[in-house]
A and B are shown apart, each in its own frame.
Chain A
């Protein structure tokens, strides 16, 4: 099964803080995604990428930046964190439009 590793697993920061969430996939998948999961909203797409150096905007991009430095690595950046960004974040990868392989998630709390 495809391996997608996220770090950290848990993160607590304060309002206005700077946070970077990391994701690495080791399956040479072209597509990588960042989702946030919130009760009542399901999984919402923040940013995605179809290759190193490529970045596309998802459905809820406000307050987030992302960068795909290599085929394997995709980062999500919160430069001025707000309490509304408290959420469970999942990174995912796929080699097509189809099966997504999710990481284990990062639980972010913004105080």
Chain B
């Protein structure tokens, strides 16, 4: 079945630096790409998303880039803080208009003081 590949699986960065997570998807008909953050012991929560009619979206220190030709999208966290330490999941809609998401395998981000 369709897959979303997410890398890296583990990411450690120094406080104040940037962190980047990359995902690739298979179905060119996918048109919705959300990112979820899961803090320890908590449930995943949506932090930012992007649709296929955009190439870049930014909110509160988060930047998402989408390259439809390469079927690749990425999350960039600027000026990382200890509170950014969490598991991050990317996802892609299964197809245009689909209400199913395919999730990546997750990235465990640790921000070191």
Contact partner of B43 among A48, A59, A105, CB < 8 A?
A: A105
Question: Which A residues from 30 to 75 make CB contacts under 8 A with B?
Answer: 31, 35, 40-45, 48, 50, 58-59
> Which B residues touch A45, using CB under 8 A?
100-102
A50 with B99, Cβ < 8 A, contacts A40-B9, A98-B32, A99-B46 known = yes
Contact partner of A40 among B46, B49, B105, CB < 8 A?
A: B105
A41 with B44, Cβ < 8 A, contacts A94-B99, A97-B98, A98-B49 known = no
Closest residue of A by beta carbon distance from B108: A39
> Which A residues touch B89, using CB under 8 A?
42-43
Q: Does B45 contact A (CB under 8 A)?
A: yes
**Closest CB-CB distance, A111 to chain B, in whole Å?**
23
A contacts, CB < 8 Å to B: 31, 35, 40-45, 48, 50, 58-59, 90, 94, 96-100, 102-105
B contacts, CB < 8 Å to A: 1, 6, 9, 32, 34, 36, 42-46, 49, 89, 93, 97-106
